[in-house]
Amino acid sequence: MEISLTNSNGVTVRLAIDVMNVYVLGYYTPHPNCSGSYFFKDPVAERAKKYVFNSSHPKTTLQFDGSYRGLENNGASRKSQILGLPALSKLVQALYEYKCPNSNYNNTHVARAFMVAIQAISEAARFQKIADAVPNDRKPTREALKLENNWSKLSKAVLNADPTTKEFKSNLTLVDANDKDVNVSNANSPYVKGNLHLLLKPKDRQAPSQLLHSRHDQNYATI
């Protein structure tokens, strides 16, 4: 699936998203002087080149994958990066002008743009609590980060919950809005019901970040 992002200056780029797990694969810039598409450095994104942005040339592989670890290794700090649509609007310009003649945007700018896009789009699609924070420009809370890091585990707990009582086979520790640890043991928990919109099912788990970074698997947004 392709979606468009347009900033306040009218600049637009298109993102490629895996509809099975909302992971980010790459993006396309229609810049008149340097149009082209860029894909994360991993097997799934490489395969996606055959199916998205078909009229785009060249199709270039970035120097990093799309996991949170991969982005952080290129200068994008998840904890300190401002999250929200206003921040994303500013960062769209970096994606638009990347690799253009005389452009000052580099890998770090692209990594930062994706760090925000992944959370503002993919994570927001998964969790209502994160979606509620997207209109604001602020750093992600520990509550949000804990949800992001546990999407896979939370999905598994819900899928394997008792069909009658909705009880999980084992508790899952998250963080509440007051920065306190909270045990989630039932699919009727407010951290599930009304919050968790998408489940990562077993057949959808083979995303690049899972193959490359098992501790950060659920964070690879093919956007």
The catalytic site residues sit at 123
> Residue 158, SS3?
helix
Half-sphere exposure of 86 (CA within 13 A, CB side): 7
Long-range contact list for 48-57, CB < 8 A, 24+ apart? 48/16, 48/18, 48/222, 52/2, 52/16, 52/25, 52/26, 52/28, 53/2, 53/14, 53/16, 53/26, 53/28, 56/28
How far apart CA 190 and CA 105 sit, in angstroms, is 41
Residue 9 has phi, psi (to 5 degrees) of -95, 5
Structure tokens at 91: 């960062």
**Rounded CA gap, 130 and 27, in Å?**
23
